[in-house]
Structures are given as C-alpha cells and as structure tokens.
C-alpha cells in the first residue's frame, strides 16, 4: 500500500479501533473544523507522510470562495464516510 495513515478511535470502553485508512491527498478532522470541537481520533502513519495542519482559524482567513470549496469537500467526505460505514443510508 502506498502512502497512508490510519484513523484510530481510542475509546476507554473498547480500546483502539481503526476507523478508516486515508491516502495521499485525503484529509481528516473535518468534523472538528466544522463544529469547532477538538478532534477525538488519533492518526497513525502507515508510511512516511507529510501533514498540513489547517485549523478553523486558518480556513476563516482564506478568501470566501476557498472557504466554500473546503467546506463543500469536508461535507462530501463526511457523507461518503457515513455511507461507507453503514451509519447512513442513501
């Protein structure tokens, strides 16, 4: 597998649980940006990775058109992840 990282949920009741694998160009932490809440999951790199930390304050400093594009992409990512996990129905 090429460059990837695993998103891990560390729950006190169930221990560590892999939620998904992300690959080059994908992002994580969308929910935290949208809700302005802290991230609840950890990331474990499965290979060498470069990570860009872009928080809500950084996004708010972008031009409105870029903010809209990012929020649209975040929403699409969240919907696709919900659908693929079986947590939501089409």
pLDDT tens digits, 26-82: 888 888 888 888 888 888 998 888 888 888 889 999 999 999 999 999 999 889 888
The pLDDT value recorded for residue 88 is 63
Cβ atoms within 10 A of the Cβ of 33, count?
20
> How distant, in Å, are the alpha carbons of 26, 27, 67, 68 from that of 63?
21, 20, 6, 9
The pLDDT value recorded for residue 31 is 85
The pLDDT value recorded for residue 47 is 82
pTM above 0.85, yes or no: no
| Integer Cα distance of 76 and 50 in angstroms | 23
pLDDT tens figures, 15-28: 788 888 888 888 88
The pLDDT value recorded for residue 87 is 67
């Amino acid at each position: 597998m090429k460059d990837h990282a695993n998103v891990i949920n560390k729950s006190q009741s169930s221990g560590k649980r892999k939620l998904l694998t992300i690959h080059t160009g994908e992002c994580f932490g969308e929910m935290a940006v949208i809700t302005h809440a802290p991230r609840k999951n950890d990331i474990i790199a499965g290979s060498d990775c470069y990570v860009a930390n872009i928080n809500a304050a950084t996004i708010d400093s972008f031009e409105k058109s870029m903010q809209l594009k990012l929020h649209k992409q975040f929403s699409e990512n969240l919907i696709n992840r919900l659908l693929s996990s079986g947590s939501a129905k089409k």
